[in-house]
A and B are shown apart, each in its own frame.
Chain A
Amino acid sequence: MPSQPDSTRKFETGGLDQFVSGYRPLPGIVDEMMDGDGRVRAHWKPLLSMLADLGAEEINRRFASANRYLRDSGVFYRVYEDPAGVERPWPLSHIPLLIEPSEWKQLEAGLVQRAALLEAVLADAYGPGQLIKDGRLPAALIAGNPEFLRPLAHVEPPGGSHLRFYAVDVGRGPDGRWWVLGDRAQAPSGAGYAIENRLALSRAIPEIYGKTRVKRVAPFFQAFQAELFEYNRQDDARVCLLTPGPMNETYFEHAYLARYLGLLLVEGEDLIVRNDGVFIRTISGLRRTEVLLRRIDADFADPLELNAASRLGVAGLVQAVRDGKVVIANALGAGLVEARAMLAFLPALAPHVLGQELLLPNVATWWLGRADVRDEILAKLDSMVIAPAFGAAGGSLGSELDDVQRRNLLQAIHDRRIDYVAQEAVTLSSTPVWREGRLQPRPFSLRLFLAKVGDGWQVMPGGFVRIADNPDARAISLQGGDATADAWVLSDGPVSAVTLLPAPERVTIQRATGMLPSRAADNLFWVGRYVERAEATLRLTRALLNRVADAGDTAAPIVAAITELLRSWSAAPIDTGGARPALVARSVLTGGEFDGSLPRLVNFARVAASVIRERFSPDAWRAIDDLVALIELSLAPGPVERAMVERVEAALRIISSFSGLAQENMTQLAGWRFLELGRRIERALQTCRFARCFADGTAPSGGLDVLLELADSQLTYRQRYVMIAAKAPVIDLVMLDPNNPRSVAYQVDRIETHLAALPKGQTPAGRLTPVQQIAASIATRFRIADAGNMTDAQIVDIEDDLMALSEAIASTYLTHIERSQSAWDAQS
Chain B
Amino acid sequence: MIYDIRQTTACTYASPVTNAFHVLRQTPVNRPGQRVQVSSLQIEPAPVSRREGQDFFGNRLTWIALEDAHDTLTVKVSARIAIDAFTLPADSVTWEAVQEQVFASTDIGPIAPAHFLFASRMVSLDPEIRDYARQSFPPGRALLEAASELMHRIKTDMIYEIGATSVTTTPPMSFALRRGVCQDFAHIMIAGLRGIGLPAAYVSGYLRTIRPPGAARLQGADAMHAWVLVWCGSDTGWVGFDPTNDMIASDEHIVLAIGRDYTDVAPMDGVIVAAGGQHIDVSVNVFPVS
Query: Which A residues have a C-beta under 8 Å from some C-beta of B?
Result: 129, 132-135, 138-140, 142-144, 150-151, 153, 273, 275, 303-305, 307-308, 315-316, 319, 369-371, 415-419, 817-828
CB distance A144 to B273 under 8 Å?
no
Q: When the two chains form the complex, which single residue of A150, A419, A817, A828 contacts B181, counting CB atoms closer than 8 Å?
A: A828
CB distance B219 to A828 under 8 Å?
yes
Given contacts A142-B108, A826-B223, contact A819 B56 (CB under 8 A): no
Closest beta carbon of chain B to A302's beta carbon, Å: 9
Given contacts A139-B105, A415-B195, contact A822 B223 (CB under 8 A): no
Given contacts A133-B106, A133-B108, contact A304 B55 (CB under 8 A): no
Q: When the two chains form the complex, which single residue of A150, A315, A418 contacts B197, counting CB atoms closer than 8 Å?
A: A418
Tell me, in angstroms, the Cα distance from A827 to B56 when the chains sit together.
Answer: 23
CB distance B280 to A129 under 8 Å?
no
List, in ascending order, chain B residues with CB within 8 A of A415's CB: 130, 195-197
Closest beta carbon of chain A to B102's beta carbon, Å: 7
| Interface flag for B40 (CB, 8 Å) | no
| Interface flag for B238 (CB, 8 Å) | no
> B253-290 vs A: 1/0 string, CB under 8 Å?
00000000011001111111111011010100000000
Question: Which 7 interchain pairs have the tightest Cβ spacing?
Answer: A150-B56, A143-B114, A826-B282, A139-B114, A315-B271, A144-B118, A822-B270
Query: Which B residues have a C-beta under 8 Å from some C-beta of A?
Result: 9, 11, 21-23, 49, 51, 55-57, 63, 65, 100, 102-108, 112, 114-115, 117-118, 121, 125, 130, 162, 166-167, 181-183, 195-197, 204, 219-220, 222-226, 262-263, 266-275, 277-278, 280, 282
Closest beta carbon of chain A to B156's beta carbon, Å: 19
Closest beta carbon of chain A to B115's beta carbon, Å: 5
List, in ascending order, chain A residues with CB within 8 A of B104's CB: 138, 369-371
Interface secondary structure of B, over-half rule? mixed
Tell me, in angstroms, the Cα distance from A304 to B25 when the chains sit together.
Answer: 12
Q: When the two chains form the complex, which single residue of A140, A316, A416, A823 contacts B167, counting CB atoms closer than 8 Å?
A: A823
- CB-nearest residue of chain A relative to B277? A820
A132-B108, A825-B167, A826-B167 given; 4 more Cβ-contact pairs under 8 Å: A371-B104, A821-B269, A827-B183, A828-B220
List, in ascending order, chain B residues with CB within 8 A of A822's CB: 11, 22, 268-272, 278, 280
Given contacts A144-B117, A825-B280, contact A371 B103 (CB under 8 A): yes
Given contacts A139-B112, A140-B114, A151-B56, contact A818 B263 (CB under 8 A): no
Closest beta carbon of chain A to B20's beta carbon, Å: 8
Q: When the two chains form the complex, which single residue of B107, B223, B263 contacts A308, counting CB atoms closer than 8 Å?
A: B263
5 pairs of residues in contact across A and B, judged by CB atoms under 8 Å: A144-B114, A308-B263, A319-B51, A415-B195, A416-B195
Closest beta carbon of chain B to A56's beta carbon, Å: 54
CB distance B21 to A138 under 8 Å?
no
CB distance B271 to A304 under 8 Å?
yes
Q: When the two chains form the complex, which single residue of B196, B225, B268, B271 contacts A303, counting CB atoms closer than 8 Å?
A: B271
Tell me, in angstroms, the Cα distance from A367 to B129 when the chains sit together.
Answer: 26
Q: When the two chains form the complex, which single residue of A275, A315, A370, A823 contacts B49, counting CB atoms closer than 8 Å?
A: A275
Given contacts A315-B21, A827-B262, contact A819 B271 (CB under 8 A): yes
Tell me, in angstroms, the Cα distance from A133 to B107 when the chains sit together.
Answer: 6
- CB-nearest residue of chain A relative to B274? A820
List, in ascending order, chain B residues with CB within 8 A of A419's CB: 118
Closest beta carbon of chain A to B224's beta carbon, Å: 5
List, in ascending order, chain B residues with CB within 8 A of A307's CB: 121
Which of B100, B166, B277, B282 has the most chain A CB atoms closer than 10 A to its own CB? B282
- CB-nearest residue of chain A relative to B194? A416
CB distance A825 to B204 under 8 Å?
no
Q: When the two chains form the complex, which single residue of B100, B115, B182 contacts A143, counting CB atoms closer than 8 Å?
A: B115
List, in ascending order, chain A residues with CB within 8 A of B11's CB: 822
Q: When the two chains form the complex, which single residue of A139, A304, A369, A821 contacts B23, counting CB atoms closer than 8 Å?
A: A304
CB distance B224 to A820 under 8 Å?
no
List, in ascending order, chain B residues with CB within 8 A of A827's CB: 167, 181-183, 204, 220, 223-226, 262
List, in ascending order, chain A residues with CB within 8 A of B112's CB: 139, 143
- CB-nearest residue of chain A relative to B222? A828
Which of B49, B118, B225, B278 has the most chain A CB atoms closer than 10 A to its own CB? B118
List, in ascending order, chain A residues with CB within 8 A of B55's CB: 150-151
List, in ascending order, chain B residues with CB within 8 A of A150's CB: 55-57, 115
Tell me, in angstroms, the Cα distance from A824 to B21 when the chains sit together.
Answer: 15
List, in ascending order, chain A residues with CB within 8 A of B220's CB: 827-828
CB distance A134 to B106 under 8 Å?
yes
Given contacts A308-B263, A825-B166, contact A138 B56 (CB under 8 A): no
List, in ascending order, chain B residues with CB within 8 A of A818's CB: 273-275
Tell me, in angstroms, the Cα distance from A818 to B125 when the chains sit together.
Answer: 34
Closest beta carbon of chain B to A219's beta carbon, Å: 41
List, in ascending order, chain A residues with CB within 8 A of B262's CB: 827
Given contacts A139-B112, A826-B223, A827-B204, contact A153 B273 (CB under 8 A): no
Closest beta carbon of chain B to A462's beta carbon, Å: 38
Closest beta carbon of chain A to B127's beta carbon, Å: 9
CB distance A143 to B108 under 8 Å?
yes
- CB-nearest residue of chain B relative to A149? B56
Closest beta carbon of chain B to A130's beta carbon, Å: 10
Given contacts A150-B55, A418-B117, contact A371 B23 (CB under 8 A): no
List, in ascending order, chain B residues with CB within 8 A of A316's CB: 21, 65
Given contacts A822-B272, A823-B167, contact A129 B108 (CB under 8 A): yes
List, in ascending order, chain A residues with CB within 8 A of B49's CB: 275
CB distance A823 to B280 under 8 Å?
yes
Closest beta carbon of chain A to B90's beta carbon, Å: 27
Q: When the two chains form the complex, which single residue of A134, A140, A416, A824 contacts B105, counting CB atoms closer than 8 Å?
A: A140
Tell me, in angstroms, the Cα distance from A369 to B270 when the chains sit together.
Answer: 37
Tell me, in angstroms, the Cα distance from A448 to B56 when the chains sit together.
Answer: 35
CB distance A819 to B268 under 8 Å?
no
CB distance A826 to B224 under 8 Å?
yes
Which of B23, B63, B219 has the most chain A CB atoms closer than 10 A to its own CB? B23
CB distance B271 to A138 under 8 Å?
no
CB distance A319 to B108 under 8 Å?
no
List, in ascending order, chain B residues with CB within 8 A of A135's CB: 106
Which of B121, B225, B270, B280 has the most chain A CB atoms closer than 10 A to its own CB? B270
CB distance B225 to A821 under 8 Å?
no
Closest beta carbon of chain A to B91's beta carbon, Å: 22
List, in ascending order, chain B residues with CB within 8 A of A304's CB: 21, 23, 63, 269-271
CB distance B272 to A819 under 8 Å?
yes
CB distance A819 to B273 under 8 Å?
yes
CB distance A826 to B280 under 8 Å?
yes
Q: When the two chains form the complex, which single residue of B57, B105, B106, B223 contacts A828, counting CB atoms closer than 8 Å?
A: B223
List, in ascending order, chain B residues with CB within 8 A of A825's CB: 166-167, 280
Q: When the two chains form the complex, which single residue of A143, A817, A819 contacts B118, counting CB atoms closer than 8 Å?
A: A143
Given contacts A820-B278, A826-B282, contact A140 B103 (CB under 8 A): yes
Closest beta carbon of chain B to A828's beta carbon, Å: 4
- CB-nearest residue of chain A relative to B269? A308
CB distance A824 to B167 under 8 Å?
yes
CB distance B272 to A820 under 8 Å?
yes
List, in ascending order, chain A residues with CB within 8 A of B275's CB: 818
- CB-nearest residue of chain B relative to A140? B114
Q: When the two chains form the complex, which single residue of B9, B108, B224 contacts A139, counting CB atoms closer than 8 Å?
A: B108
List, in ascending order, chain B residues with CB within 8 A of A153's CB: 56
CB distance B272 to A416 under 8 Å?
no
Closest beta carbon of chain B to A374's beta carbon, Å: 10
Tell me, in angstroms, the Cα distance from A125 to B278 when the chains sit together.
Answer: 40
Tell me, in angstroms, the Cα distance from A493 to B51 when the chains sit together.
Answer: 59
Tell me, in angstroms, the Cα distance from A819 to B280 when the chains sit together.
Answer: 17
List, in ascending order, chain B residues with CB within 8 A of A823's CB: 167, 278, 280
Tell me, in angstroms, the Cα distance from A129 to B110 when the chains sit together.
Answer: 12
Tell me, in angstroms, the Cα distance from A142 to B107 when the chains sit together.
Answer: 10
List, in ascending order, chain A residues with CB within 8 A of B57's CB: 150
Closest beta carbon of chain A to B288's beta carbon, Å: 21
- CB-nearest residue of chain B relative to A817? B273
Tell me, in angstroms, the Cα distance from A231 to B257 when the chains sit together.
Answer: 38
List, in ascending order, chain A residues with CB within 8 A of B277's CB: 820
Given contacts A824-B268, A827-B223, contact A143 B130 (CB under 8 A): no
